[in-house]
Structure formats: structure tokens, C-alpha cells
Amino acid sequence: MVGESRWVQWASHLILGSASAMVLLPLLWVLRTSFADKVVAYQMPPDLFFAPTLDNYRDVLLRFDFGSFFLNSLIVALLTTAIALLLGALAAYAIDRFRTGGAVMPLAILATQMMPPIVLVIPFFLIFKRLGLADTHAALVITYLTFNLPYVVWLLVSFFKRVPRELDEAALIDGAGPFTVFWRIVLPAALPGIGAAAVLSFVLCWNEFLFALMLTGQQTKTLPVAISSLVTQQGTAIGAVCASTMLAIAPMVLIYFAIRKLLVAGLSLGAVKG
Amino acid sequence: MTRVKFGTSAAVLAFLAAASPAFAASDVCKGSDINILMETVPDTEALQAIKGDFEKQFGAKVNIEAVNYSLMHEKLVPSLTAPTSSYDVLVVDSYWVGEFKTAGWIKDLDAWIARDKIDTSLYFPALMALNGTVQGKTYMLPFWQYAMGILYRKDIVEDPAFQAAYKEQFKRDWRIPTTLEEFAEVVKWSGKQKDMYGIAMAAQRADPVVMEATNYLFAEGGDFYDRKTWKPTMDTPEATKAVTIYADLINNAAQPGALGANFDDVANTLKQGKAIFAISYLFLFPTLEDPKDSTVVGKMAFAPVPGKDSFLGAWGWAVPTNAKNPDCSWEFLKWVESKDVAYKRALAGGQPTQMWIYEDADFIKKWPAMSQVGAALEHSRGLPIMSRSTQLVETFAEVMGSVLANNVPPATALADSQDKFGRLVKGDPLLK
């Protein structure tokens, strides 16, 4: 039995290690290439040991106007996430606690996501152009809300379900109104869910490319669109692409480490004790 | 006294009338924005560096948005369909010309050209025919040319040992191949001789393989259509031979992964010193000659595609019909294609379209490979100017895909495609 257990452990580690390697190796390769000059970057067979250079990071930060594109992405992602959480939490609370819209409401919200996004690109473009919102952050925020809000609502409905209604009732008995119950009882109890929804919304906005391409211009260009312009007909500035990529994923990594305890705590949110 | 007064007034009025175009030019742009969507190429960088001159002279703000080529069409089309365009000046690729003209998205420039006496004879005739005039009217001023030809390692082919081996093999003195068949033989032999890839190729669907393979088609004297009757001609022996040779080189001489390679990969294969030949763009030379990027600096040369014609592509400056201020857009076109500005862009690594620049000693000294452009353009032609050029590229890419990836015999694939090519020209107003 002890031997079997060790064998199982080894096998588990091997499988998990291989899966991790499959995910991490491409990222590590990008990290490696971000420190390589152009000759080394394209060398075949590749040179694993070489003199690293910071030229790519220097080019990206100083010549490429990376700061503006980063700021655009950050503004759009943060605004969208904040509005999505506010509206999504209120909607989720109403749907879960008061059955607003009946049984069909959750499905109706999700039904909006059945359409391929590309169908909406030109209509959105023409509408925002007519409203004078083309090449503005507002256009992207409004667009991303239409995609993110349904997912945020669905996620928060499932987290609010786990918050015992008895807590609401206790607060109501003590004289709290519905909004106070929502704000002071349900929301804090569903904090892991809020964290998860925030991360989901932020990542969706941060990585979105199609609508960012069509709705932004030089002033409001976001990181995915900007990085794509490093791929040119005369060659891909692969070092700069890799350096930009590493800088672009840095916020995601920071967010993950900041809220991972919150996310893990949410997994153990239990049922009401009898 | 009255006669003097009248005479003075008339003189003042005449002076003002004569001076008014100059006043009108700066007035027409004052406070305007010129938004342009461009590809990330050296011409764009050169323009970014000098756009301040236009801004100072005309009181307008120039905003250049640079994106990857593959994203440009998607960004442009919604803008051109809107009541007012997001872009005030367009750069139009040669195979969008038919689509844009048929859709009524670009303005006829002839009235402005006549008014401002713009000399379009400065441009290579081949480029005016491709990215200038459509059905006798001028819609663009040529901006950027992408001539293609043989890029090859001159240090290898000029080596006496190589030439001696060549003579022993082919029983003649070394020469740049004069036919496509000879080119294929030399490429395959050279690769084995030097233990390198004989040729770097870009067979990725759709743009890379079509741009490259069209050289083979035109070199053999083939074409997509009879350009008088517009009957498809892809089932001819010339087309079959061209595609057969292309497939042979992909399978027997090209670098691994050529089926998924694009021009970037071709350039990198050459820059890494892995291949001897390529049929690709003259505009790759600046990157091939960049010591930060390339291990073959000073070792590359250019020669025209062997055979009848090579493929020619170009870009042109145009004014969208829904431009907010078309007169200012026209002023920008005039400025950017003025001799002074065109020359600055050329020195910065652009691909000029005005003939006189290629005779300038300083330009040729800085970019020696550009001395070959005249020869390349003399025997070159572009895709037909038709409303469905983009679909033409897709259809030919399909043919090449079935030959290269699915091993369909070239003659079969080409014969099967005749109907598709035929449908593309049906009812096209540009082909009457």
C-alpha cells in the first residue's frame, strides 16, 4: 500500500509537472526572447546561453510609447470592471433574492452572448461614430460592458446563492433595509465572488483585440492592438513583441498574487450549519 | 483721376486673384486634422519624423495610426462606409483599388491635378497603371512600390569554387538564371552543393503564397485572365508549369516549415545565412543589410525574376469620398508627394515611386539595391484591377493550398479553379 501510494504520488507529480511545463514553457520562451537581440532571437538551432540585452525593453518603453497604450488598457479595464461589478452585483442580488425577471431572466442575460461578437463590430463602429464617441475610452467601456456584464451577473448570482438567506432575514429583523442588507451583509460575504468577477472582467478587457482594433485610433489604442503593430511586412520585431508581452502580463500576475487568498477562501464558503 | 483709380483697383484685384491659391491652400487646412491609417513600414516612420513641416505650413494636425498590414482593410472598410470617414487620407494597396473604386470610396483627383498642374509623368508608368489611374481617371498618386525579384547570396555565387562546380554541372559559365526552369535547377543544385536551403519560400495562405507564386505564374508567361476578354486562363500549360515548379521547390529545396512561412520567415532565413536564393521583395534589403539583425550584411544582391514578368505591387495615396475636408486631404497628398518630401522618405528607407529618385547618386549610394528597381519594374505587372481582387487572392491561395498541402496535381487543381475565377469577373463594371 505504501509503495502504491508513492507510485501514485510520482505519477501525479509527473502529470502535473508536464501540464505545467506545457503552459509555462512558451511563456518562459517569450521571457528568454525578450532579452535576446535580433540575431539570437531567430537563431536556429536556438542558443540557450547568450548575453542578455535590455535593448528590447528600452525600445518598448522609450520609443514605442508603451506607457500611453498601457494607460489606455488600464483605464478601459478598470472602468469597465468597476461599472460591471456595481451593476452586476445589484443585478445578481435582485435576481437571486427577489427573483427579478422570473426564471427566464438569467437565460435572457446569457442569450445576449450567443451572437458572435464580430457581427456587432460594424454596427458599434457606426453608432459610436454617429455619437462622436469613436476613438474614445467611453466607446470601449460601453462595448466591453455588453460582453462582461452577463458573465459578471451569472458568476455573482452563483456566489450570492451560497450566502445564507438567514443572514438577510436576521438583518431585516434588526431593522436593516434591503440595500443595507445587500451592502453590509451579502456583499462582504460574497467577497471572493466579487474578486473572481473582477479578475474575469479585467482579464477579458485587458486581452480584447477585435473591438479595440475597430473602435480606437492612435490616441486610445490599447496594448493588444499596439503590440500587433510590431509585426510588420518587413519583419517582426520579435524582441520588442516579447518584451511588450511580458510587460503587458505583469498586471495580471500582480492581480493574481494580490487576490489569490481571497479566491481560495471563496472555494471553502460553506453551507449554513443546521 | 477716375481712370487711375480704376487701374489701381484692377491691379490690386488681379494681384489678389493671383495670390489667392496660396492663401486658399493654408486656409483650407487651418485647424483641421489629417488622420491617416498606415502600415508599419519605413515610409511611415519617415513621415512621422517630418509631418511637423506640414503642420507648420498648413496649420493642420497630422495623426498617423500605424497598424499591421493584415488589420488595415478591416479598419478601413467600416470607416469608408460611414457618413464621414475616420481617415482623411488613405493609403490603398494595389489589390484594393478595384473594390474601393467600384464602391465609390475614393475621389477622382483629375480636377485637382489639372488645377494645381501636378506632373504625374514623374511616376513609373507601371505604377501609375497599378495605383494611379482606373478607367482613364486618376484616383491615386503612387506612394510605395513593392517590386519583387531574386534575392541571392552574391558571396556564394561569385565564389570561384562555386562557379567551377556550376560549370562542371551545367556545362556553361555561371549566370543568373534566365528561365524559371533553369532557376529551379540551379536552386536545387546549389542547396545540395553548399549544404544549405536552396531557397527560402513563403507558402503561408493567403497573401504570402499568392504574392510569391504569382511571380512564378507571370515568369512563365501565364496570367489569371486574358486581360482583353477576361476569360480565365489558369488551365494553360504555362500556369501548370509555374505551379509545378513552385511545388517542386517547396518540397525539395525550401526551408522546413515553408508551407507556413511568410515574408518575415523568408527574411529571417536569409538573415541567418541559411538559404541561398529567395523570390521576394526588394524592400527586404534594408533589414538584410542591418548588422543588428543580419549575418549576411554586404552579401546579398538582387536580380529580376527569371522569365517573362515579375509580380508588382504598390500602394497609392487617395482621398476618401467621405473625407471631412477633401481639399485639405488633397493638400496633404500634394505635400507628401512633393519632390522634397518624397526624397526625404526615400533616403529614410522608403520605396519611392518617382523615377528621378532612382537616378539620384546619393540615394543609390545609400541604398545600392534600389538601382535594380527600374529593371524590376520594366518587366512586371500587378494583379488585374477588378472589384473582387481580394477574392482572386483567396481563390489562388485555395489552389496553391490544395496542391501544396493536399498533393492535388497542379493541372487538376488549376482546371478545377477555372469556374471560380470565372465567377469573380461576372458583372464587374471595371472590366467592361
Q: What amino acid occupies position B34?
A: I
Interface test mutation site (partner B, options A119, A234, A241, A244, max chain B beta carbons within 10 A): A234
Question: Residue B292 is nearest to which of A38, A126, A130, comparing CB atoms?
Answer: A38
Sign of CA dihedral B48, B49, B52, B55: negative
* A221–B81 C-beta distance less than 8 A: no
Query: What interface predicted TM-score (ipTM) does this complex get?
Result: 0.74
Interface test mutation site (partner A, options B35, B65, B77, max chain A beta carbons within 10 A): B65
CA dihedral A142, A148, A149, A153 (to 10 degrees): -170
* Residues of chain A neighbouring B40 (CB-CB closer than 8 A): 229-233
Question: Residue B75 is nearest to which of A129, A213, A230, comparing CB atoms?
Answer: A213
Question: Residue B78 is nearest to which of A38, A122, A228, comparing CB atoms?
Answer: A122
Mean pLDDT of A159-167: 90
Measure the CA–CA gap between B270 and B288, rounded to whole angstroms. Answer: 8
- Among residues B168, B172, B170, B210, which one has the least CA distance to residue B187? B170
pLDDT at A183 over 60: yes
Nearest CA in chain A to B71: A213
* Residues of chain B neighbouring A53 (CB-CB closer than 8 A): none
pLDDT per residue over A77-111, tens digit each?
999 999 999 999 999 999 999 999 888 888 888 88
pLDDT at position A257 = 84
C-alpha cell at B307: 522569365
Q: Collect the ranges in chain B with pLDDT lower than 50.
A: 1-23
- Smallest CA–CA distance, residue A246 to chain B, in Å, is 20
Residue B267 forms contact with A (CB below 8 Å): yes
**Residue that is written with C-alpha cell 516579447 in the block:** A242
Residues 46-65 of chain B whose Cβ lies under 8 A from any Cβ of chain A: 63-65
Confidence of residue A262 (pLDDT cuts 50, 70, 90): low
Residue A5 forms contact with B (CB below 8 Å): no
Residue B125 forms contact with A (CB below 8 Å): no
Residue A122 forms contact with B (CB below 8 Å): yes
Domains and their CATH numbers in chain B: 28-146+313-378 (3.40.190.10), 147-312+385-431 (3.40.190.10)
Q: What angle do CA B84, B88, B91 make, to 5 degrees?
A: 120
Host H or E run for residue B55: helix B42-58
pLDDT at position B26 = 59
Question: Residue B68 is nearest to which of A39, A43, A228, comparing CB atoms?
Answer: A228
Residue A38 forms contact with B (CB below 8 Å): yes
Is it true that domain A65-229 has CATH number 1.10.3720.10?
A: yes
**Residue that is written with C-alpha cell 555565387 in the block:** B157
- Smallest CA–CA distance, residue A226 to chain B, in Å, is 8
Question: Residue B40 is nearest to which of A43, A122, A229, comparing CB atoms?
Answer: A229
* Residues of chain B neighbouring A39 (CB-CB closer than 8 A): 271-272, 292-295
- Smallest CA–CA distance, residue B208 to chain A, in Å, is 10
pLDDT per residue over A185-244, tens digit each?
899 989 889 998 999 999 999 999 999 999 998 889 999 999 998 887 667 889 999 999
- Among residues B294, B295, B284, which one has the least CA distance to residue B367? B284
Residue A221 forms contact with B (CB below 8 Å): yes
* A233–B263 C-beta distance less than 8 A: yes
* B75–A214 C-beta distance less than 8 A: yes
Q: Is B43 exposed, middle or buried (0-12, 13-18, 19+ CB in 10 A)?
A: buried
Distances from the Cα of A159 to the Cα of A83, A154, A182, B364, angstroms: 18, 9, 13, 69
- Among residues B146, B148, B85, which one has the least CA distance to residue B318? B85
pLDDT at position A233 = 66
Question: Residue A233 is nearest to which of B39, B268, B293, comparing CB atoms?
Answer: B39
pLDDT at position B21 = 43
Beta strands at B90-93 and B61-67: parallel, antiparallel or unpaired = unpaired
Instruction: Write out the DSSP string of B124-176.
Output: -HHHHHHHTEETTEE--EEEEEEEEEEEEEHHHHT-HHHHHHHHHHHSS----
* Residues of chain B neighbouring A235 (CB-CB closer than 8 A): 264, 267-268, 284, 287, 293
Residues 160-179 of chain A whose Cβ lies under 8 A from any Cβ of chain B: none
